[in-house]
Amino acid sequence: MTKVELKGLSQSKLEAFFAEIGERPFRAKQLMKWLYFRFERDFDKMTDLSVPLRKKLQDSCQITDLELKKKLHSRDGASKFLFVLPDGEYVESVLIPDNHRLTACLSTQVGCPLGCTFCATGNMGFARNLEAFEILGQFDFMARLMHPDRMITNVVFMGMGEPLLNTGNVLETIQILNSELGFEIGARKITLSTIGIPDQIEKLAQMGLKVRLAISLNAAEQTLRDKLMPGANKYPIKTLIKPITHYAQNSGRWVTMEYVMLDGINDSPENANQLVALVKDLPIKVNLIEYNTVPGIEYQPSPFKNMVFFQAYLLENQITATIRKSKGQEIAGACGQLRTQIMQEK
């Protein structure tokens, strides 16, 4: 008999599960406190559950932790984790300190189907979606590692994969991260990064989701964006305007446009002008990102002076723009690099 995986089930799903086995819904709250407050895995130690219920859970349920394959630590403080999933696949996560913040970067798929040409994950192909317990398990592992010395304050879905091609499991994870019975991460401290899938963004807007939304744009001109991000050609830039606007209106938060700066590719004055023309009337801000080079991929980071010029041009045109420096460069910090290394070794 296949056991029920309890990690990654939202409160409502846990309540439904307990109802199915003849238990009252409040058992969901008790279990969540054991799982996420006390990091307990042994049903026998969940002492506010009755002995018969503990036996029932032991026989029919499981709580699966991810296995750590490799951990690397960078001089700038970032740590990268390579996890082995139950089926033997690998997935990456990163823990990034920044003054008072500690950010967990989570993956949502094994590989990625979108094929972005500058991305290590995009070049490895796609294996499968992650289950909710596998997405949450990345955070859970890092939270247990840091506890009690330091709490994770922020979460970004910017690791391997496209979150909005695995929306159901990502939303389950967000519910638990945000819940007072889970990890109590505020919605404004959770960022979901996507290439931009219009119908899914509309769905999130209609749900009233309050997390921060980031669109991986990287070029404001369609032909160049298609070259950099072949999988995004199904979702033309012009089709993103309406759902982005709706999401900003419904969530009360501006949307971030992420723009990875590539030397000689998308960092010219003309590229900056194209970006201004696209976003000048939208409720957005722009995050200019330093490219983290990937062995075997020809792209190089834009010189910092180009990034500063690009930012200044946006600011002159009343567009909020920031520059984000990459971390973890000496530990294969870019998305997908560590998994690629391990697969090549195998």
pLDDT digits (tens, 9 = 90+) for 119-151: 999 989 999 999 999 999 999 999 999 988 899
Q: Is the pLDDT of residue 340 over 80?
A: no
Is the domain spanning 67-345 CATH 3.20.20.70? The answer is yes
Domain ranges of the chain: 4-62, 67-345
Contacts 24+ apart (CB under 8 A), 148-152: 150/102, 151/102, 152/95, 152/102, 152/103, 152/104, 152/183, 152/185
- Compute the average pLDDT of residues 101-115: 96
Write the single-letter amino acid at 39.
Answer: F
Write the single-letter amino acid at 210.
Answer: K
Q: In whole angstroms, what is the distance from residue 14 CA to residue 29 CA?
A: 9
- Residue numbers annotated as active site: 92, 335
Average pLDDT over the chain, rounded to whole?
94
130 closest CA partner among 103, 112, 153: 112
Question: Hey, do 4-62 and 67-345 end up sharing a CATH topology, with the first three levels equal?
Answer: no
Strand pairing of 90-98 and 101-105?
Answer: antiparallel
pLDDT digits (tens, 9 = 90+) for 175-230: 999 999 999 999 999 999 999 999 999 999 999 999 999 999 999 999 999 999 99
Question: Which fold, 4-62?
Answer: DNA polymerase; domain 1 (1.10.150)
pLDDT digits (tens, 9 = 90+) for 6-65: 999 999 999 999 999 999 999 999 999 999 999 999 999 999 999 999 999 999 999 999
